Amino acid sequence: MDLQTVIRTIPDYPKPGIKFRDITTLLNDARGFRRAVDELVQPLAGAKIDKVAGIEARGFILGGAIAHQLSVGFAPIRKKGKLPAETISESYELEYGVDEVEIHVDSIEPDERVLLVDDLIATGGTAIAAIKLLERAGAEIVLCAFIVDLPDLGGAEKLRAMGHNVTALTAFDGE
């Protein structure tokens, strides 16, 4: 199965000229979803992973399934103001401003080996902020895993330039 065949493309969303890669169709396809989770876990065979961290919101879905499969805990990385207990945060630049992501201060123990998961890597802003946040919490990032890479936007290469291992199951060029 080619995962691209079960990922919907929505033209001109959220603004004209953007092709939005919607993985909800992949999540709705039982075989596709299972295959995606299996393929995201496969590079970790034999590796020690203590925790999966998923970036809001589709990273929660993928990360929860992967954490279950690896029998490890899950740490949600959320937009500012969404977590109820004490948090640490990291800001990142958007096209028109700044945003922040947060984790609970007690979600990562020092030296825990963490898999970072999200549905898509584009420019890398959110993923870089998540990495910085996890590292501030004491995590060792073992792998950054995504369903979709948009290589023309350079996010995966930025993560690699920071010294991180990156995997993506499929790529859409020309984005």
Task: Kindly list the catalytic residues.
Answer: 58, 95
Angle CA 24–29–34, to nearest 5:
100
CB 27 within 8 A of CB 21: no
Instruction: Report how far residue 3's alpha carbon sits from residue 149's, in angstroms, rounded to the nearest whole number.
Output: 12
DSSP 6: G
Instruction: Report how far residue 45's alpha carbon sits from residue 69's, in angstroms, rounded to the nearest whole number.
Output: 12
**C-alpha neighbours within 13 Å on the C-beta side of residue 23:** 24
**C-alpha neighbours within 13 Å on the C-beta side of residue 11:** 0
CB 148 within 8 A of CB 121: yes
Instruction: Report how far residue 19's alpha carbon sits from residue 157's, in angstroms, rounded to the nearest whole number.
Output: 21
